[in-house]
Structures are given as C-alpha cells and as structure tokens.
Amino acid sequence: MPRGNGSSIFYHRIEVCCEGYRRDQYSKRCVPDCSQSSPDNCRNGFCRSPEHCECFPDFVRNEYGVCIHTCPIECQHGRCYLNGTCACHRGFALDQETRLFCRPQCSKACGTHETCVAPGECECSPGYRRTPDLGCQPVCAPDCGYGKCVAPNQCECFAGFIKRPQRNVCEAECYINCENGFCESRYKCQCREGYRYDLNTTSCLPECIENCGHGNGVCIAPGVCRCFEGYEAHGTECRPKCDRSCGKYGRCLAPNICGCGHTEQHCLNGKCESGDHCQCPPGETHFVDRCLGPNQLNHQLSTNEKRKHFNLQLGHEFNALIGRLFNLV
C-alpha cells in the first residue's frame, strides 16, 4: 500500500508490501510470504497465499512445516520399501495424518506447549521457553511492557493500556515516538535495556561504549558499532586502520597515519623506528606528516586546500618535535 505524501516535492511516495507479502528480489513484485509457517520459506513447494505452503509432488510437509522427500526417494526417520511404503526406525511411528514420514514417539505424553523431538524426549514448542515453575511459556520479543504474553509474540494489554499501530507492546497513550521503548505516560518513555532516551528524536537510541571509539562509527544496536571507512571494529569500539604496519615504536592514530613514539610524529605511508623517527620506504622522503616520492611534492602543494592542510600539520609537527621545549605565553 502507498505511504507518504505526494503533494509536495519534498516528500516521496513509497510502496511497501501488504501484511503477509514480501518483495521478490528478482521481479520486485509483492509475493505471498510463508516464512512464519515454513522455516525454509516453502523451498520445495509453492507459497500459494500468506503462510499457505503447497509442497511439490513427491514432497510432504513434516511436523516443522518443511517440505521433505517421500517414498520412493526418501522417508524421514525410516526406510522405503520397493512398493513405496515407509517403515519407521525404532522409536518412531508414521505420521497419523499423512502416513508419509516418521515422527519420534514419547512413551509419556508431552506437557502443554511441548513437542516430542526425539524418542522419549520432549522440548518446548517453537515460540515457547521452559520456566522453573510454569513449564513452557510463550515468548514475546520485545517484551509486552504493560501487558502479558499470551502466545508467541502476541501481547494482551492490562486495563488502561493500548498497542499502537504496527507495534506489539502495551503502553500508555502518548505523544512521543518512544521507539525501542514503551510509554509510561503521555510524555514519559521507558527505554529498553541497552538504549537511552534521546530528547531530539523522542526515541530510545542504542548505547555503545565511548560512542564507538570517540565518534569513529555509528552505534546500530546495543554494544554493536558500524565503523566509518578507514576504521575497524575492536571489541566494542572502532579504531583507525593502517594498511602498513606502524612498526614496533608506533601506533595507528588515524586511517593510514602512524604516530611515532611518545611525540606521536605523524608518519603517513611510512614506518616508525626507534627515537620517534619516521622511516620512509626507499626512494621517498618524509615531508611534514607523510612520505613522498620525488615527483609528488609539487602535486601535494598544488591547491589552497592542500596547502592549508600542510599548514595545520606543520603546527602539529612543531608541537610534537620541539614545541614542548618552549613555554609560550
């Protein structure tokens, strides 16, 4: 269905697929989606309508919704006879509905919201998890807020609380976005763990340690950074990346810029040696903050922008090398 406002050149009309449909990556058309009822999205069948998977001939849907081979090709947890029938292995029995594949058997009946996954072994059904006191209980992600989880990803709100459109969390009626959180009152947003409230967007933004390395990346999820070009992830922060090794006596200060020793003299395209010295490759000379070849110097000073850059770098080099020896007032 269309979303947006086509009445102004500053807005665009964006078409999104209706609920139960997805965008096909090849035809770009909206097609039925069977991903919720079929783990492999009906790979060996045809998705006729939302969550309605029709298996190809000689395939059948097993207990997990996957289209699997049947006899005479293969029989799940059994073997095929020449007449096309399936004989189950020990601890398994033919599926009562189709009689085309074998399912595990449990001598004792499994509990509520449990499934027999292996001979004599019961586990919680998909969308449920085991609790110490109440057995298998439904899971809602994110949690329901001011409500209770009555089925997998299905919340029932307490009295006086509502679910806003396109959201499955119970909250108070409010006038702020409160993404990644839920409204406690009309103007108060309770953020989920790992998020903090941002006054400008009135939403909860993910938190990362030291802002992904002092602003060298973008925090896209709690503790997860997407680093800018020239930086790479080290744990929970983004650090500059130098294609060449900075050597034993240096460290990478910025993308492809090494800092030598305690003075941190810049050494672009070079390698730090002992004595806080920048060692350039053979045939190149250290100029201000980088190693340059014989024909590169004029090019580096060809524009005002580049000359401005080198003036700033000269100030850094002065402070790094001899400026600390002067006490300028």
pLDDT tens figures, 75-120: 999 999 988 889 999 999 999 999 999 999 998 889 899 999 999 9
Q: Is residue 1, in this structure, part of any structural domain at all?
A: no
Q: Is residue 250, in this structure, part of any structural domain at all?
A: yes
- 73 and 90 in one domain? yes
Q: Is residue 221, in this structure, part of any structural domain at all?
A: yes
Q: Is residue 9, in this structure, part of any structural domain at all?
A: no
Give the three-state DSSP class for 213. helix
Q: Is residue 265, in this structure, part of any structural domain at all?
A: yes
Are residues 69 and 121 in contact, defined by beta-carbon separation less than 8 angstroms? no
- The domain total for the chain is 4
pLDDT tens figures, 242-296: 887 887 888 888 888 888 887 777 888 788 887 777 888 888 887 777 788 877 7
Q: Is residue 176, in this structure, part of any structural domain at all?
A: no
- 155 and 82 in one domain? no
Domain closes at, from 104, 125, 141: 104
- 157 and 93 in one domain? no
pLDDT at 46: 94
Task: Please report, rounded to a whole number, the percentage of residues in the chain having pLDDT higher than 90.
Answer: 30
User: Which residues have a Cβ under 8 Å from the Cβ of 78 and sit 6 or more positions away?
Assistant: 86, 87, 88, 89, 92, 94, 101, 102
pLDDT interval class at 1 (50, 70, 90): very low
pLDDT interval class at 62 (50, 70, 90): very high
Domain closes at, from 104, 127, 154: 104
Return the ∠ at Cα 200 (arms to 220 and 232), rounded to 5°.
25
pLDDT at 5: 46
Domain encompassing residue 167? 114-171
> Which of 118, 178, 115 is closest to 146 using CA atoms?
178
- 137 and 76 in one domain? no
Among the residues of the chain, which ranges form H helices? 210-215, 297-300, 304-321
- 189 and 160 in one domain? no
- 122 and 49 in one domain? no
- 125 and 65 in one domain? no
Domain closes at, from 194, 210, 237: 237
pLDDT tens figures, 123-181: 999 899 999 889 999 999 888 988 999 999 999 999 888 888 878 889 888 888 888 88
- 223 and 296 in one domain? no
pLDDT at 4: 45
pLDDT interval class at 38 (50, 70, 90): confident
pLDDT at 306: 57
Q: Is residue 324, in this structure, part of any structural domain at all?
A: no
- 225 and 269 in one domain? no
Q: Is residue 6, in this structure, part of any structural domain at all?
A: no
Q: Which two tokens stand for residue 42?
A: 């009906």
Other Cβ atoms less than 10 A from the Cβ of 242: the count is 22
- 194 and 158 in one domain? no
Task: Please report, rounded to a whole number, the percentage of residues in the chain having pLDDT higher than 70.
Answer: 86
pLDDT tens figures, 188-211: 888 988 999 988 888 899 988 877
The DSSP line for 87-155 is: EEPTTEEE-TTT-SSEEE--SSPP-TTEEEEETTEEEEPTTEEEETTTEEEE--SS--BSEEEEETTEE
pLDDT at 329: 43
Spatial separation of the C-alpha atoms in residues 49 and 37, rounded to whole Å:
11
Q: Which two tokens stand for residue 307?
A: 């000359």
pLDDT interval class at 315 (50, 70, 90): low
Question: Taking all residues of the chain, what is their mean pLDDT, rounded to a whole number?
Answer: 83
pLDDT interval class at 213 (50, 70, 90): confident
